[in-house]
Structures are given as structure tokens and as C-alpha cells.
Chain A
Amino acid sequence: MLTGGQILVECLKNEGVEVIFGYPGGAVLPIYDALYDSDLLHVLTRHEQAAAHAADGYARATGRPGVCLATSGPGATNLVTGIATAAMDSVPMVAITGQVPTTMIGKDAFQEADITGITLPITKHNYLVRDVNDLPRIVKEAFYIATTGRPGPVLIDIPRDVSAGKTEYRDPGPIGLRGYMPRLAGEPAKIAAAAKLIAQAKRPVIYAGGGVINSGASEYLKKLAETIMAPVAVTLMGIGCLPGDHPLFLGMLGMHGARYTNYAVNECDLLLAIGVRFDDRVTGKVESFASHAKVIHIDIDPAEFGKNVPVDISIAGDVRTVLVDLIKNLTCNPDPAWQEKIARWKKEYPLDHSREGLRPQAVIRELSDMLQGRRYRVTTEVGQNQMWAAQHFCITRPRSFISSGGLGTMGYGFPAAIGVQVACPDELVFDIAGDGSIQMNIQELTTAVNYRLPVNVAILNNSYLGMVRQWQELFYNRRYSQTELVNPDFVKVAEAFGAEGIRVEKIAEVRPALEQAIASSRPVFLDFIVEREENVMPIVPPGEAISRMLG
């Protein structure tokens, strides 16, 4: 006979789980007691939100599901932001929460929260386990659902009497979910129709997103792009799906896309949308988005077809499987005039790459240059730092640019970097941060120090909530309401936590500081005192067509 907690540990091991990010509490004590004897690595964060983000970072870096664990009530609700972040970006995650005993449910017991109710809209599915005998089946289903089809978070809520209850451990046998059957292969007729449309196109553009990375389709995307000579615009989630130094790479499109990227999308006659969801930050004014183009949309989730933008051909299926089939069907006549036009735009409207003064873009370009040829992963916080990183970092591998896209979660990058460093102990991990965002989960420096995780945090410190200030400057007549920050001394903060702190105030100091951080075996806060009112440019004003950029 095993306790529910022990059965859970067995189930996690069966799923290949090696690490859990969590925080204990009363309602999960039977689970923590079982973990005490297990060889699963448990990383104790200082806040449950960070546990969820760390599990998320681990998942994005590896492609394997991230697992986080919290107690009932406030522990569970603290996971919510992390779960919602994972849901918006299609990240495979299994969140396990403790619940008050089944006999107390509904009685407003101490630390009771209806977490299955709370997380209904932000999980792919969730479970309240009512009987310890159901635990193996539920855990198996949860991992299956989280990792197949369009990945997403699944929550398992386990009442204390269930995790403490004893029963025989039995393998649940095959999964029988009659309402859940993700489609993998695309319809051959639609693939043939898509190939025909591609053959007719003179000005094709590929618009690629996180779905390419999730399905491991990067090689096929490259092959497709090279076959039809189509430039590849990527979403924030798609950064890394084609190497940033590839000649066909156009970079990010949309609100902070480069001029040449948005112009290419605006003028293309075929938009091949792959593993994307036509997010409003990408499309801008929907009616004007790629308005001269036929649109082919390939995605694992059929609910994305026609949700935001009408499409001509939609192909439901795993991106990699569909691309393999599509490439077999392709014939095309690339038009050199289209390539020449894009090359001209690139020359005429480059992203700002000046390295004068301690400008945030320059810091990112220095870091990017230094890391080329090494194994590295980058996470970001949210805001200007994130957009500068997306614009200026040359990312050459999938799963090495990790950022909260859909939810735009400030405080994501640092705990995510901890999860990434756990997953990739031999790689350099940098979190690109703003001074506002880093303070949202700064307590996790203890976690990094405790577990000897040498995460580096490049704080682009302008003493502002930079992106909000930028919007106030551009759209609210420079009325900087509540966006100026009075910050702590980040170097001293780092030192107080037992980490390393380096302040950088001149461009000449950037490279030595980065070298020092890379060489350090401790976590490092790099406090770059950057120019205060630098903006992320270009920018598409909200509600405008993406071809109408400022800057």
C-alpha cells in the first residue's frame, strides 16, 4: 500500500519527470513527505509564481513538460499568473496543487480556494482528484493532454485526504479520452491546394510562430523557405525557429517589427502563416493586414482558423508533419525582383544599431556578439527590454529565446531563467531585464544562489517603467504618471543575496562586465545605467495598420 503522495511520485517518475519547482504548505505535506524519500530534484523557489515560471522556462528550453507544485489556497492562487502565462504561449506544464480534505471542500475551510474553478479559463484542462485510486489515471491523462496537440498547462488539485490516503498502486492502462484526439496529418487535398497557391505566388512571405518550435519543425521551415525563396517574418514566440543570421530571416513583425519586415508583409501576395495565431500585436489593424495576399494558415489548433483574420486555405495538423508533406508537393518560380525589393528595404530602413553612448540596444548587441559560437539561452522580462532583445539579439537556435508573449508577464524572465539553467546546466543563461520587471520576482535571487545556478541578469536600468513611459511620451503628451521608479542599488542587492553585482555606466565597460559575468560561477546582476528616455522603434500605434509605423 502506498499513500497518494507516494503514488504521485511514482506517476511523475513514470512520466520521466526529473525536477519539480515548488513551495510546501499544509495541504501538500503528504506529497512533500513522499518527495523526501524520492530522487526527484525539488527546487524550492521563494514564491509560487516563480515556481510556475521556472517550470515554464524549463519546458520551453527542453520541450518537456514543466512541473510545479504548491499548497492549497494562496499557494494555488499564486500559481495563477504562471499558469496563465503558460496557457497564452502554449507551454506544456503540469501544475499540482494541494486542496483541503474532501470533507471540507465547499465549507470555506482554512486555505481553501476553488482552484479548478479559478483556473478553468487558463488551463487546457484541470482535475480535482476525489479518490486516491483515480490518481494514476489522472496524472497520466494530465501529462498526455499537456504535451500533445497544442501544448498547454493542466492542473491537478489533490485534497489532503487523497494524498494521505492509502491504496495499491496500479498502472492505469491506456488513455481513453474520447473527446480528445489531436489531428497530426494535414488533409492531402488542402496541402495540394496550398502548394498550387505557392506556385502561383510572386511575392511570398512566411509568417512563423511558436508552433514551429513546439513541433520541432525548424529544419523543415528552413527547407520550405529556401525552396520557395520566401523571407521569414517571425512572431515573438517564433524567434529562433529560423537562425537570426539566415539570409531569409526578416525578424519580428508587428507592433515593434522592423520597417522592412512590416513592409514585406504589407506588400506580399502570399502569406504563409505557420504555427501562429494572428495576435493583435502582430496584425495591427486587421482589415489592413497583408491585404494584398492570399493567406495559407497551418496550425495544430483548428480553432485558430478564421478567429482573427480570414484565411484562404487552412490546414489543421502538426506543423512538422504538414511541412514534410507540403515540401514534397512544391514547385515554384521565385521572383528575384521580390528579393531585391526586400534587400533594398533592409538597407534603407535598418533597425537602429548605433553603439554610441550606453544605449540599451548597444548593450544587447554587445551581448549577442559575445555569445555567438557559445551555447546560450536568453530569457526576457516584459517591456522595452523584451522588445529590444527581440529586435537586436541574433538567436540562432530554437528554444533559446524564452519570453512571455501572450500574457506579457512582468517578473517572468528571472524565474524562467532559473528553470532554464536547471534544464541546461552547461549553458550560459542570460535574463534581459528592465529595472521595473526584475523587481517583480527579485526574491528568486536566493533560489539561484542556493542551487548554485549562475544565471546572469542584464538589467537595462533607466529608472522608468520604460514601455509605459514610452506610451505616455507618444500618446499621453509626456504625462509620466507613476512610471518613474526609485530603485534600490542592484549591486548591493545582489551582494546581500550572496550573488555578484556589477554596475556599468559607459559603453566601454560593457564588454569587460559581460566577460566577468560569463566567467563567474555565481548569479550576476549587471546593472546597466542606460539612457533614460530611449524608445523602442519602430512602433505601430495601437489600432493602426502595421505599415504605418513611427520611428
Chain B
Amino acid sequence: MRSTYSVLVENNPGVLARVAGLFSRRGYNIDSLSVSRTDDPGISRMTIVVEGEKAVLEQVTKQLRKLVDVIRVHDITDEPHVDRELVLIKVNADSGTRGDIMQIVEIFRGRIVDVGEYTSIVEVTGDEGKINAIENALKPFGIMELVRTGKVAMQRGIRTVLVED
């Protein structure tokens, strides 16, 4: 099973180490973890994707809640939510292939954000499936470098993961 957690934490020094350390100490498998501060500078939000058995996932929630700097933990896997990742892909591109690459990027509603003599950097935002698909589509041209942000997620509608909920 794979779960997505939206976690609010105090924006204190070392909070990421506390959360990451918890995962490594307990042997939980982090699929992706993204973190940055929210509109409240005192609070950061983490989106954590974890792979594991049901019992492990239950423990993840409970152990996270034990951390003093963790304000809220919410498993949004089964709730309607949007999730996005951003990827930058540096791909081999010369005058012969650039047109094909641009077409693919267009289909995925991505953007070419840098063009060099032999390379292009492609930026794409989307869910995991879309990111995987464009990665596969660009592979034949030769991917030189790739960086993904990891998933960020938010519930749809009026539901929120806020401090006072």
C-alpha cells in the first residue's frame, strides 16, 4: 500500500531531521518527502508518501504524532485530493531532434525553459503518471539529467489540513 500524508510541523531548526530520522530509525520506507514553509512563517507543511503494509502505515501516523514539533498529521490517500510533482529534464537536443522534443513537450503541456547548443531543459508539472510518461517519452533522445521535487498534495473542496482543525 501507498499512503500520502499531509503533515504540519513547527518551522523549528532540525524538524526535517526529526521526521526523516523517525522514518530511518523505524525502518519505514519514504517514497517521497517535500517540505517548505506555509503562508504562516512559523509552520511548514510536509507531503510524505510512504509505501508499506497497513500496520506500518498506522504506525507512521502514530509515531509522527508523537513528535513534539508535529502539529497535525492527516492521511489524505483516500480523500479527494490533487497532487502534483514538478520535474526538470535535461535532454539531448540538436537541430535534428529539437522539433520532435517540442512536440512531445506540447502534448504534455510542459515548457522548454532552457535551450543550449546540444541540450534543452524541459519543465513539466503533473501527477506521478504524467511525469513518468514524459520521462519515458523523452528517454529515446537521451536524458542527461533529471530532477523531481517529490509530491505535494492538497484536499479538494473545503476540506483542509490546518492547525485548528
Tell me if chain B binds chain A. Answer: yes
CB within 8 Å of B: which residues of A? 116-117, 120-121, 124-125, 128, 145, 177-180, 301-303, 305-307
Closest chain-B Cβ to A142's Cβ sits at a distance in Å of 10
Q: Mark B65-77, 1 if CB is under 8 A from A, else 0.
A: 1111111100000
With both beta carbons as reference points, the residue of chain B lying nearest to A120 in the complex is identified as B21
Query: Per-residue 0/1 for B32-72: is the Cβ within 8 Å of any A Cβ (1 yes, 0 no)?
Result: 00000000000000000000000100110011011111111
Chain B residues within 8 Å of A121, by CB: 21, 25
- Distance in angstroms between the alpha carbons of A145 and B67 in the assembled complex: 11
Tell me the complex Cα distance, A307–B63, Å: 10
> Is B163's CB under 8 angstroms from A303's CB?
no
Expressed in whole angstroms, the Cα–Cα distance for A305 and B65 within the complex equals 14
Judge if B127 is at the interface, Cβ distance under 8 Å: no
With A and B bound together, what is the CA distance between A302 and B66 in angstroms?
Answer: 9
Instruction: A302 to B21: give the CA distance in the assembly, Å.
Output: 20
Q: Are B68 and A125 in contact (CB under 8 A)?
A: yes
CB-nearest residue of chain A to B70: A179
- Name which residue of chain A comes closest to B64, CB basis: A303
- How far, in whole Å, are A177 and B71 apart by their CA atoms in the complex? 9
Identify the stretch in B9-17, B115-123, B130-138 within 8 Å (CB) of chain A at 4 or more residues: B9-17
Does B18 have its Cβ within 8 Å of any Cβ on chain A? yes
Q: How far is the CB of B90 from chain A (nearest CB, A)?
A: 33
* Residues in B neighbouring A306, C-beta threshold 8 A: 55, 58-59
Contact B62–A179 (Cβ < 8 Å)? no
A303→B62 contact, CB < 8 A: yes
A116 touches B14 (CB 8 A): yes
Bound form: Cα–Cα A120–B70 in Å: 14
The residue on B at minimum CB distance from A302 is B62
Measured CA separation A346–B112 after assembly (Å): 80
Given A303-B66, A306-B55, 4 extra CB contacts under 8 A: A120-B17, A121-B25, A125-B67, A128-B13
Are B21 and A124 within 8 A (Cβ)? no
Chain A proximity of B19: nearest CB distance (Å): 10
The 8 closest A-B pairs by CB, nearest first: A303-B62, A179-B71, A125-B68, A180-B68, A121-B25, A120-B21, A179-B70, A178-B71
A177 x B63 contact (CB < 8 A):
no
A480–B104 Cα distance when bound, in Å, is: 70
The reply to whether B68 and A145 form a contact with Cβ atoms under 8 Å apart is yes
A408 to B136, CA, bound (A): 53
Q: Most B CB atoms within 10 A — which of A178, A303, A306?
A: A178
* B18 contacts across to A, CB distance below 8 A: 120
19 contacts between A and B (CB under 8 A): A116-B14, A117-B14, A120-B14, A121-B21, A121-B25, A125-B67, A177-B68, A178-B10, A178-B71, A179-B10, A179-B70, A179-B71, A179-B72, A301-B66, A302-B62, A303-B62, A303-B65, A306-B55, A307-B59
Nearest B residue to A116 via CB reads B14
Q: Distance (Å) between the CB of B35 and the closest chain A CB?
A: 15
Check B17–A117 contact: CB distance below 8 A: yes
Cα-based distance from A125 to B70 in the complex (angstroms): 11
Q: Is the CB of B69 within 8 A of A179?
A: yes
Q: How far is the CB of B65 from chain A (nearest CB, A)?
A: 7
- Residues from chain B with a CB closer than 8 A to the CB of A125 are 67-69
List residues of chain B with CB within 8 A of the CB of A301: 66
Of listed B10, B17, B21, B62, residue having the most chain A CB within 10 A:
B62
For the complex, what is the distance from the CA of A125 to the CA of B14, rounded to whole Å? 11
Task: Output the nearest chain A residue to B43 by Cβ-Cβ distance.
Answer: A178
Contact assessment for B65 and A124 in the assembled complex, using a CB-CB cutoff below 8 Å: no
B104 CB to nearest A CB, Å: 45
Q: Which A residue's beta carbon lies closest to that of B20? A: A120
Q: List A contacts of B68 (CB < 8 A).
A: 124-125, 145, 177, 179-180
**A303:B63 contact, CB within 8 angstroms:** yes
Measured between beta carbons, the chain A residues less than 8 angstroms from B21 are 120-121
CB distance from A383 to the nearest CB of B (A): 26
State in angstroms the CA–CA spacing of A49 and B68 once bound together. 26
Chain A residue nearest to B164 (CB atoms) is A178
Nearest neighbor of A305 in chain B, beta-carbon distance: B62
Q: A178 to B42, alpha carbons, bound, how many Å? A: 12
Chain B residues contacting A178 (CB-CB under 8 Å) are: 10, 71, 163
Contacts of A179 in B (CB 8 A): 9-10, 67-72
Residues in A with CB closer than 8 Å to B62 are 302-303, 305
Complex Cα spacing A303 to B55, Å: 11
Residues of B within 8 A of A180 (CB): 68
**Please, how many angstroms separate the alpha-carbon atoms of A306 and B63 in the complex?**
12
Chain B, Cβ-Cβ closest to A301:
B66
Which partner residue on chain A sits nearest B14 by CB separation?
Answer: A116
Closest to A303 in B: B62
Q: Which residue of B lies closest to A126 (CB)?
A: B14
Q: For residue A145, which residues in chain B have a CB less than 8 angstroms away from its CB?
A: 68
Cα separation A20 to B12 with both chains bound (whole Å)? 29
Residue of B nearest to A124 (CB): B68
Chain A residues with Cβ below 8 Å from B9 are 179
Chain B residue numbers with a CB within 8 Å of A305 are 62
Residue of A nearest to B55 (CB): A306
- Tell me, rounded to whole Å, the shortest Cβ–Cβ distance linking B25 to chain A: 5
CA distance A128 to B72 in the complex (A): 23
**Measured CA separation A303–B18 after assembly (Å):** 17
The distance in angstroms between the C-alpha atoms of A125 and B12, with both chains bound, is 12
- Chain A residues within an 8 Å CB radius of B13: 128
Task: Enumerate chain B residues within 8 angstroms of A116, measured Cβ to Cβ.
Answer: 14
Instruction: List residues of chain A with CB within 8 A of the CB of B69.
Output: 125, 179
Q: Which residue in chain A gives the minimum CB-CB distance to B13?
A: A128
In the complex, chain A residues whose CB is within 8 Å of the CB of B163:
178
Closest CB of chain B to A208's CB: distance in Å? 22
- Write out the residue numbers on chain B whose beta carbons fall within 8 Å of the beta carbon of A117: 14, 17
A428 to B97, CA, bound (A): 87
Q: Say how far B44's CB is from chain A's closest CB, in angstroms.
A: 12
A125 (CB) vs chain B CBs: closest residue: B68
**Bound-complex Cα distance A121 to B18 (A):** 8
- How far, in angstroms, from A145 to B69 measured CA to CA in the complex? 12
Expressed in whole angstroms, the Cα–Cα distance for A301 and B65 within the complex equals 10
